[in-house]
Amino acid sequence: MRSIGLMILLLLAATPPAVFSLDITETARMQVPDGAAIVPSESGWISHRPKLVTVYEDNHEPAHEKSTKLNERVEISDAGSYYSILKYNDNSPTTFSLLRVDVFNNAGERVYSVDKPRASSIRLSDADGSAVGIVGAKGFPSSELDVYDRAGMISHTLHVTFLTGISFEPASGLMFVNSADSGLVAYDMSGVEVHRYGIARNFCVSGDGEFVATTNSIGISYFKSGLKIKSMAEAPGLTGTDIDMRFDSGASRLAVLGFDHLRVYSLPTLELIWELKSREPNARYSALDSSDDGLIAVGYDVPMKRNGNTSHTQGGVLLLDWNGTELHNMELKYADWTIGHPLVRFSSGGELLKIATRNEAYLLTISR
């Protein structure tokens, strides 16, 4: 496969690129079992397929397995610190009636269980495994969120209209609830509203939990401790197709990933510093992550059209610094594909980069 041939289209800052001397080594590669989905976590990997959940170490050595049934589904927390097995009332895990939820840490230890919850789905916090049960579904005019503690007891219930997403931020200890009606709202785990951020399509939180950035159809907003510092309507380069966002480690720059671009803005001014596009017209970015030590990883897929059909068999992962310097381009080939792949995730402060396609999982070691 020829290189994706990425180029910097805009470089507005006068700061010279940082010079990195990186030694990048592929230290492990694993074939993903047929029918399985694998998710990179902070401390390893979690694979799930019908009838089986497997947790792996970083180097792909199996740590433990749990059997599941056809009427059970697996939910994994964002960073993979916890997972849950949801048992439904018949052999279809799309049924809205839950019989039981068992929550496990990534060592395979059961943390707590909930019998006959009102919810139809569950979201887990990486901080302590506490859960939110969604009574209803995303997009419903009205939903209720049952918040469970580590004893499996409902501590409180929130009422939300037109729910679009829930996420937890371990650094701040807050739960972020996004609604197409009332916007993005942060709550503490006792159910007290802490901050409102307005309508948001995407958002990200800095590593210390102090800063939040949001995007919507008209621009970018930047908040510190819940207070809006800067908002820019029609921010340079923003097209409404952003799929992910990340702060750098000092919250002085913001990376916004779209299907066909990566843009980095300075903070708090929200000035566009640089933009990265592809010379490959069909390439589409799939995933974004950043490390504590100044690296950005971007996954991309290059769909090809043959005989009127589109196939997804090749892509790759880019490694860059925050000045837009391309440090590494790992090309990938695969037989199966789904949206959001290849996945990328840093761990160990940036010393490890985990990459997952539908067919293989890779572990890269990065040293300077």
DSSP notation for 194-258: EEEEES-SEEEE-TTS-EEEEEETTEEEEEETTEEEEEEET-TT--S-EEEEEE-TTSSEEEEEE
What separation in angstroms does the CA of 40 have from each of 13, 211, 280, 306, 363?
34, 25, 27, 32, 10
Residue-averaged pLDDT of the chain = 87
Residue in 70, 50, 56, 164 with CA at minimum distance from that of residue 107: 56
Q: Specify the pLDDT at position 231.
A: 85
336 pLDDT band (50/70/90 cuts)? confident
Q: Specify the pLDDT at position 239.
A: 56
Q: Specify the pLDDT at position 240.
A: 60
**Does 96 have pLDDT greater than 80?**
no
Note the pTM of the prediction, 2 decimals. Answer: 0.87
**Does 10 have pLDDT greater than 90?**
no
15 pLDDT band (50/70/90 cuts)? very low
Q: What is the rounded average pLDDT of the residues 120-137?
A: 89
Residue found under tokens 């694979």? 47
Phi, psi of 4 (to 5 degrees): -65, -20
